[in-house]
Amino acid sequence: MAHAFLVIDVQNDFCPGGALAVPDGHAVVPLINARQAAAELVVLTQDWHPPMHQSFAVNHPDAAPYDVVTMPYGPQVLWPAHCVQGTTGADFHPALDTTRAALVVRKGMHTAIDSYSAFFENDRVTPTGLHGFLRERGVTAMTLTGLALDYCVAYSAEDAARLGYRVHVQASACRAIDLRGSLAEALVRLQACGVTVGA
């Protein structure tokens, strides 16, 4: 299996009506389902936060959603509480095909550190185990899709490139939050590390 298809965080809370809805987030689902049919290896990721997660604004007195605070691992955006373990918001979008997934990577489970990337927590050091899983199966290249392009998709793509994979982001099957210019910044970073972004 030389190629993996990664589906990043297509969960209810990131879709319209969710706690941290990405504009038009649900529109990626049919595109992702169609692409999975030809994929060699499918991996899904899932934000899976405890209620007291330190990336939640509600857990910081006098803070508001989208404020930025300094954590031991660096700057951290404070988000509305989302994808709390065991809630409907943390479930995959009901129309997403999950039957072909060889692995589901749950991330953001540790209270004190967020985890945008499918490969590492936000300290960019602590692994999720995905890299080992892919290497054992001979994966050398991957396509990423999902939510949100400027955060979890971009961080995952950057880390994959840093680990030596050939990486493509299928932008048509992604949507972005675009918080304070975050989409443009993410695209610059992706280009700088050799990730291709296209249809």
Catalytic residues: 9, 107, 152
Q: What are phi and psi of 58, to 5 degrees?
A: -60, -20
Q: What distance in Å separates the CA atoms of residue 65 and residue 20, rounded to the nearest whole number? A: 10
**Residue 131 contacts residue 163 (beta carbons within 8 Å):** yes
Q: What distance in Å separates the CA atoms of residue 96 and residue 94, rounded to the nearest whole number? A: 6
Q: Among 156, 151, 194, which residue's Cα sits nearest to residue 45?
A: 156
Q: Among 176, 155, 104, which residue's Cα sits nearest to residue 133?
A: 104
**Residue 133 contacts residue 6 (beta carbons within 8 Å):** no
Pairing of strands 166-175, 141-147: parallel
**Residue 122 contacts residue 74 (beta carbons within 8 Å):** yes
**Residue 155 contacts residue 123 (beta carbons within 8 Å):** no
Q: What distance in Å separates the CA atoms of residue 42 and residue 101, rounded to the nearest whole number? A: 5
